[in-house]
Structure 1
Amino acid sequence: MKFVFKLSLLSIVFFMLLSCGSSEPEDEVIIEEQLALSTLNVFSADQESQSVTVTSNLYWYTELNVDWITLSPRFGTDNGAINVTVASNPNFEERTGTITVIGGSYTRNLTVTQEAKVDNGGVLDPNKSPAQNFDLSTWKLNTPENNGSGFSKTISVSEINGGYEDNNYFYTGSDGGLVFKCPVDGFKTSANTSYTRVELREMLRGTDTSIPTQGVNKNNWVFGSSPASDKTAAAGFDGEMNATLAVNYVTTTGSSGQVGRVIIGQIHANDDEPIRLYYRKLPNNSLGSIYFAHEPRDGFGGEQWYDMIGSRSNSATNPSDGIALDEKFSYQIKTVNNTLTVTISREGKPDVVEVVDMTNSGFDQSGQYQYFKAGLYQGNNSGSSDDYVQATFYALEKSHTTN
């Protein structure tokens, strides 16, 4: 009996163990992927930031289709937040961009909308930055400050349109005008120039820094007489720049060949300058002169000089119809094919016009590109270090023919 009992007990234990070993496995827990974004409000035309909430249980990363939006961070894991910053809108039209967030098998798109820059109708506000009073969407600025490597500091298109001002060189005046002030002493743009400048350089690419600064490309323009392939490759052809300004102060120290002179507008080519427009007032004169230089390319002739009001002579007498300091006047620089036309206008006086035939100047050949410059390019490097020139611009506009 004992044997039978033991055998029965062992059988029960065996079947219990067998029963435990053959039980059904537990169901596997499946975690559902998740990726969701909060919404954004419409951004103002100024530089502005908002936050996007990411609800996720995944690793995720971002992509952008425009360069005026910046994101921080660009990637993350699980829940988080993305700081979205837009640069100031330099255009008078609303603009949109797309933020794409990708995680696992999901792709989420979020539209960023920014209001248009407010058109002030030409009314200058002393409480606004230069870019709020003027269309500076396609200009950068060279200053006489050190960029850290011994050359002049450049203020980018994005920085200017982000509200940049400098009370020493580039700022809004008490009457709303754009003040340029350029000292004799300062850092230069390159080793090839001897003069300081506080000057705008045309940048038709705007904030698209993927386009090189130099070359026949969408940052620069060409003359209408250039080869058809160059006209297609460039951002436009031919050009017109109109400015209204008053020169407030000129240098009173320095050599007789340099004192009192300043360049207030240019067309610059690859290496040469189809035009440099000067204002000059000598220390003993109460009125200033206007003249310009046309510089053909190397091998195409020497520099040509044109007096428009008064004389560029180092010993010029007071010009009878000259322009006084703080007197407003306007200039227009215009090219059509190989014809350069320069016009000086003043209220109540007839326009002064000079036309230059550039057919033999070499700028209509392949590979030659142009860009406007406006502001102050110092014409004196021999004066006292604290001497300076200053001008206030009240209007600045430009245009080109596009294909």
Structure 2
Amino acid sequence: MLLRSNFILISLLVLLQGCGSSSSSDTAIDEPIQEQPTTPDTPDEVVIETISCSTLNKLDFTQASVQSQMQGFEASQSIDGSFIASSRWSTSNNQHDLILTLDEVSLVKGLAITWLNNDERTYSFDIETSQDKEEWLPVLTSAISNASTTRGEYVELTESSARYVKIVANGSDKNDGNHIVEVEAFGCRENKTSSIELNDWYLSIPVDESTNSKAKSIYESTLNDNYFNAEFFFLDKEGGMVFRAPIEGAKTSTNTKYTRTELREMLRRGNTNISTQGVNKNNWVFSSAPASDQSAAGGVDGTLTAELAVNYVTETGDSAQVGRVIIGQIHANDDEPIRVYYRKLPNNEKGAIYLAHEIKDGDDTYYELIGTRSKSAENPANGIKLNERFGYQISVSGNILTFTLTRDGQADLIQEIDMNSSSYDLGGQYMYFKAGVYNQNNSGDPKDYVQATFYKIENSHINYDG
């Protein structure tokens, strides 16, 4: 009888305890829910890695989290690829941490930080790194941003193997607010270099550090000495060569309206005794040119082969210009036998490919290979998406130019251009290839930009045999 009584008593206690508890579904709907930071789960066990590599490549952030942010200026906007001021992280308080997550543990060597700076303010900040978000290593302390720039600032860090990067934002000299437009990290996971040889090229970027009036030229010897620019020209983590050109910036001459980050062919291969211009050993001519020009030139006829992906195009500005970028061309003395365009409109998922052939001292003739060049074009059914890899080849034999577009799993698209009436076979006309990004929009937000990653750039010519 005593055992039975105890059993009944225990059962009653369990029942009463169950009645006193409430499930999550019983929570009052008017009770505010505290918004939690978007932080990834910390792994139960973190294996500390030590990485050793020497290359400098852009690393990929996958997530951003903070303790404080202003509505409409969330942390995720600091790694969204946009440099427009409205796409930023902002907080009204200082001493807040912006924690950025890399896609994998990497050797972190530097950060490019674009601060919101339209009133010449300076920001104070520190940077720390971690593999587990528990133990943090200071890699830059008491740093101050540049008050005179609105561009990205590259800061070198004490090298560390890390999965997480923390920017400790300490406000500005104006107030306690922090405003970061974009953050990009550079380092490596393993040694990844580009397979593109740059002995035959120089690079133009849309900035002149001294006057900001004319684009800067990085000539062959400097370019081949592992040249790096965190804003305009760098390698991605797979070794792809990245070219970026914002709407604002210095131009290559007074005759152009647009910015570019672009390679210019230099057959002199660093021999500065040879002029960059003219019918000489730095440039090439068509085999239809006079024999004396063929003998004097650095090559005859030519082929340029490229593989690339367009990563970003402008989304703001005049509808006639938005989304346009030139990704390759042949340039003559003053005109262009061919310009290769990629264009994706903001409301389209895919982009078009078209060509322009400029008759010497004359008008352009356009050839549409995929979609159209119209500012109101519909989404091209066979178009090329951003970040989709494709290839092109420009080949010249005499007065016949052949352009070939290549894509995996699809038939080549070929366009032949007859140049017999274009006057490039006249004496004194010299040629050079160009590859990179030549932004064709000067009407949008100054921070809007174009970007492409090249995986292959090969140029070749034949020698004059008399």
Normalized against structure 2, the TM-score is what? Answer: 0.58
Quick check: 1:126–1:175 contact (8 Å CA) kept in 2?
A: no
Q: How many residues align?
A: 276
Residue 199, structure 1, aligned to residue 258, structure 2: no
Q: 1:232 to 1:292 in 2, by over 3 A?
A: same
CA contact (8 A) 1:260 1:282 kept: yes
* Structure 1: distance between partners of 2:284 and 2:190: 33
CA contact 1:221–1:236 (8 Å) conserved in 2: yes
Cα distance in 2, alignment partners of residues 315 and 172 from structure 1: 34
Match of 1:397 in 2: 458
Shift of 1:303: 1.1
Letter paired with 1:161: N
Structure 1 residue identity aligned to 2:345: L
Using the alignment, how far apart are the partners of 1:324 and 1:317 within structure 2? 14
2:400 counterpart of 1:336: no
Of 284, 289, 304, the match for 1:226: 289
Distance in 2, Cα, partners of 1:187 & 1:145: 5
Code of the aligned partner of 1:203: M
Q: What does the per-residue CA deviation read over 1:154-173, in whole Å, with 9 as the maximum and x for residues that have no partner? A: 00100011110111111110
RMSD (CA atoms): 1.4
Instruction: Choose the corresponding residue for 2:219, options 130, 151, 156.
Output: 156
Corresponding position: 1:136 with 2:198: yes
Asked if structure 1 preserves the Cα contact closer than 8 Å seen for 2:310 and 2:453, the reply is yes
Q: Identity over the aligned pairs, expressed in percent?
A: 56
Aligned partner of 2:19 in structure 1 is none
Secondary structure class of the residue paired with 1:253: coil
2:272 and 2:352 mapped to 1: Cα distance? 39
3-state DSSP class of the match of 1:209? coil
> Does 2:363 correspond to 1:302?
yes
* Segments of 4+ moved more than 6 angstroms: none
Q: Which runs of 5+ in 2 are unaligned?
A: 1-188
Distance in 2 between residues matched to 1:205 and 1:259, nearest whole Å: 36
What aligned pairs does 1:72-87 form with structure 2 within 5 A after superposition? none
**Structure 1 residues 153, 338: closer, same or farther in 2, change over 3 A?**
same
SS at match of 2:318: coil
**Matches of 1:380 and 1:178 in 2, distance apart?**
22
Residues 382 and 244 of structure 1, relative CA distance in 2, 3 Å threshold: same
Structure 2 residue aligned with 1:127: 191
How far did 1:217 drift? Answer: 0.1
Could you tell me which amino acid in structure 1 is paired with residue 244 of structure 2?
K
Q: How does 1:78-117 map to 2 (within 5 A)?
A: none
Residues 239 and 335 of structure 1 are in contact (CA less than 8 Å); yes or no, is this contact kept in structure 2?
A: yes
> Which moves more between the two structures, 141-150 or 213-222?
141-150
Residue 375 of structure 1: how far off its partner (Å): 0.3
**Secondary structure class of the residue paired with 1:179:** strand
Q: How does 1:170-209 map to 2 (within 5 A)?
A: 170-209=233-272
> Which of 322, 337, 343 is 1:259 aligned to?
322
Give the equivalent residue in structure 1 for 2:435: 374
Deviation at 1:174, TM superposition (A): 1.1
> In the aligned structure 2, how far is the partner of 1:271 from the partner of 1:230?
17
Deviation at 1:391, TM superposition (A): 0.6
TM-score (norm 1): 0.67
Q: Which position in structure 2 is the counterpart of 1:18?
A: none
Distance (whole Å) between structure 1 residues aligned to residue 286 and residue 214 of structure 2: 31
Cα distance in 2 between the residues matched to 1:374 and 1:126: 27
Residue 210 of structure 1 pairs with residue 273 of structure 2: yes
Deviations 1:305-351 (A, max 9, x none): 00011110110000000000000000001100000101100000000
- C-alpha contact (below 8 Å) 1:220/1:235 kept by paired residues: yes
- What's the CA shift string for 1:342-380, capped at 9, x where partnerless? 110000000001001000001000000000000000110
Q: Which secondary structure does the structure 2 equivalent of 1:349 belong to?
A: coil
CA contact (8 A) 1:129 1:163 kept: no
